Structure 1
Amino acid sequence: MTELIALDVGGTHARFARATVRNGTITVGEPITLKTSDYASLQTAWEEFERVSDGPLPRAASIAIAAPIVGDTIRMTNNSWIFRTDAVDEQLGLDAVTLINDFGAVAHAVARTPESELVHIAGPDKPLPECGTVSVIGPGTGLGVAHFHRHPGGYHVQSTEGGHIDFAPFDAIDDWLMSKLRREHRRVSTERVHSGPGICEIYQALAAIEKRPEPLDDKTIWQRGIAREDSLAAAAVDRFCGSLGGLCGDYALAHGASAVVLAGGVGMRLLELLPKSAFGERFRFKGRYTEMMAGIPVKMIVHPQPGLYGAAAAFAAEHGS
């Protein structure tokens, strides 16, 4: 049995949990969540976790990070933390450490989670393929994208920075949105729209059409829109669902995917709404490939901590159990 600390470090929160790997079975304990903005670095957050933990910490860790795991220095995409890959073990007092992109970790979780924790969203209601590629996509503080390929005897995870591809307008409203974003940014990536904060951009585009200038923050738009307490916020949420469906279809085409799995905080907020929204229609709407797209199942992982579970799975894949 291997004991380790699993970490999931995102743009807003860092989640820590004790985990065990025994004969391929992964168990993750109750997480402790810290706000990244409250700590200067991973090391100071780790020290706080150590302070509030019961007993000494294992000398092994797997850290899922919302950034590309490339080179000697890792800079977070949506917060100010910086990691030195050659010094993390020494800084945290570890004998073994795994570093993985956060959505690479989620892909590990999807690859190993039971079908009971995958909820049907669109397409045929059938299990994930035993062989083939599965796209894993998750809107949250940013937009996470990864995929994994199942083959006889195992699977291989490929992390990506797919959230940073160009935003592709679909219609006149998107054209207006693109024009606005282009004035504000040198380059407009798709996570400017397909993320938690991105709902503000969609809302403002719709508000401009109706000449309703009142600004709302993203949390308010999500809350009012999902609850149907505000017609404009509801329209923005509905449009987000359809646009996300189109984007997920694009990733499925690019990955050659046999299935797609959604994850992330925004995805979970939309769990009940997505199957009834335009998500599925936009996912399938790919011209001559519409019939092919209709055969691809789309699911949502509902594991309570896929990033932590996947981090532990990545550690097991690298170091063994």
Structure 2
Amino acid sequence: MPKSFIPIAFPQQTPPPEGAVILAADIGGTKADLAFFEIKNSEPVLVKEQRYPSKEWNSFVEMAQDFNKNTTRPQRICVSFAGPVRDGKAHGTNLHWEIDSREISEKLNIRPVFLINDLEANCYGLAALKTDDLLMICPGKNHEAGNAAVISPGTGLGEGGLFWDGQAYRPFATEGGHSHFAARNELDWELFLFLEKKYGHVSWERVVSGPGICMIFSFFRDVKGWEAPGILKTEMKAHDPAAAIAIAATEGCPVCQETLRLFMKYLAEEAANLALKLKATGGIYLGGGILPKIWNETHQAIFNEYFFAVGRLDPLVEAAPVYLILNQKTALWGAGYYGAFGGV
């Protein structure tokens, strides 16, 4: 069993034989990271990795065959996938793939093959983190051991839980990012109506994600009449539009700054919801690829303003320490660790 300063319980304590190789993958709606982990001194060590654009490939099997060419075949596979996993199968939420662990096993002739949700992998990946992989946002008052949670905005909004069994955390997946968005004031309600007209159902993922940043920006521009610099339109077409908005915010663009203010407000509100629902006194971990790139003192102040505004149960939320995960390969490491210590 791997030892770390965040104790994570895995299904199996005994690692594969020394030198065994695990193919781990973290597949999201935009990108897919594949890596080989080799067992050294009873723990997985990353030895090779490569990034693929998810939507340019038809299947994980094709990716794996490309990644594995001219190398020794791995003994195990673990795939972290952005979508609900049921009976070893999943359909992508933001990637139109069907993925089946049994089919992967048959086509690649490798056993075992584990398929886990990406936020479950993110939770397992906490086992691989060092102290400098985390930034403390709030220390927590009267901190006590208890459940924890991970919330990760990216192409979508992932949410995962960690049940505290008294000695270690036991990760589990959720699809909480698809629960109903809750408007709290008139501006929220206007945004809700704007999104409802476009999507029908409005979930937290529609506002707390990369595409969510773009939707909030569109709302301010098209509904509220805020002006945006002409160059921004060009940058949004040429590059990742959410990233272009974030960069423009740092350069003083008012509509972009207001967009990120609302994004951070909604992140804080849903993180607080998660803390309450899971009684996460053990901690809230902010993950995903967006936050480490945009986090600053202004955003931290916005987060703190809204995270603690939960009414009568303020003390429960105040007890939860909040951390920003700086290591953007946490889910990939989680897949590597689960590949080594998952149940066979």
**Fold equivalence (TM over 0.5):** yes
Query: How many angstroms does 1:228 deviate by?
Result: 3.1
For residue 12 of structure 2, what is the aligned residue in structure 1?
none
- Structure 2 residue 18 is the aligned partner of structure 1 residue 4: no
For residues 272 and 24 of structure 1, what CA distance do their matches in structure 2 show?
Answer: 38
Query: How many angstroms does 1:22 deviate by?
Result: 4.5
- Of residues 87, 104, 110, the one that matches 2:126 is 110
Query: How many angstroms does 1:98 deviate by?
Result: 1.2
For residue 247 of structure 1, what is the aligned residue in structure 2?
270
| Change over 3 Å in CA distance of 1:219–1:246 after alignment to 2 | same
For residue 314 of structure 2, what is the aligned residue in structure 1?
290
- Of residues 245, 260, 265, the one that matches 2:289 is 265
Between 1:171-180 and 1:109-118, the stretch displaced more is 109-118
Query: How many angstroms does 1:315 deviate by?
Result: 2.2
- Of residues 59, 62, 69, the one that matches 2:75 is 59
For residue 209 of structure 1, what is the aligned residue in structure 2?
224
User: Is the contact made by 2:88 and 2:115 (CA closer than 8 Å) also made in structure 1?
Assistant: no
Query: How many angstroms does 1:112 deviate by?
Result: 4.6
For residues 75 and 105 of structure 2, what CA distance do their matches in structure 1 show?
Answer: 9
For residues 59 and 152 of structure 1, what CA distance do their matches in structure 2 show?
Answer: 33
Gaps of at least 5 residues in structure 2 are 1-17
TM-score (norm 2): 0.84
- Structure 2 residue 156 is the aligned partner of structure 1 residue 138: no
Query: How many angstroms does 1:186 deviate by?
Result: 2.5
TM-score (norm 1): 0.90
For residues 298 and 105 of structure 2, what CA distance do their matches in structure 1 show?
Answer: 41
- Of residues 95, 113, 120, the one that matches 1:79 is 95
User: Is the contact made by 1:20 and 1:28 (CA closer than 8 Å) also made in structure 2?
Assistant: yes
Aligned positions of 1:92-107 closer than 5 A: 92-107=108-123
For residues 304 and 28 of structure 1, what CA distance do their matches in structure 2 show?
Answer: 14
For residue 5 of structure 2, what is the aligned residue in structure 1?
none
For residues 132 and 268 of structure 2, what CA distance do their matches in structure 1 show?
Answer: 23
Instruction: Supply the AA of the counterpart residue of 1:238.
Output: R
SS at match of 1:28: strand
Between 1:116-125 and 1:41-50, the stretch displaced more is 116-125
Percent of paired sites with the same residue: 25
Per-residue CA deviations over 1:122-179 (Å, capped at 9, x if unaligned) read 34399x96x4211101000000100112334433111111110011112211111100
SS at match of 1:260: strand
For residues 26 and 105 of structure 2, what CA distance do their matches in structure 1 show?
Answer: 16
Between 1:277-286 and 1:198-207, the stretch displaced more is 198-207
SS at match of 2:74: coil
Query: How many angstroms does 1:5 deviate by?
Result: 0.9
For residues 139 and 318 of structure 2, what CA distance do their matches in structure 1 show?
Answer: 6
Instruction: Supply the AA of the counterpart residue of 2:148.
Output: V
Between 1:176-185 and 1:274-283, the stretch displaced more is 274-283
For residue 33 of structure 2, what is the aligned residue in structure 1?
15
- Structure 2 residue 172 is the aligned partner of structure 1 residue 158: yes
SS at match of 1:34: strand
User: Is the contact made by 1:238 and 1:277 (CA closer than 8 Å) also made in structure 2?
Assistant: no
- Of residues 189, 210, 224, the one that matches 1:175 is 189
Gaps of at least 5 residues in structure 1 are none
SS at match of 2:331: helix
SS at match of 2:164: strand
For residues 85 and 30 of structure 1, what CA distance do their matches in structure 2 show?
Answer: 22
| Change over 3 Å in CA distance of 1:12–1:274 after alignment to 2 | farther
For residues 45 and 88 of structure 2, what CA distance do their matches in structure 1 show?
Answer: 31
Alpha-carbon RMSD across the aligned residues, in angstroms, is 2.3
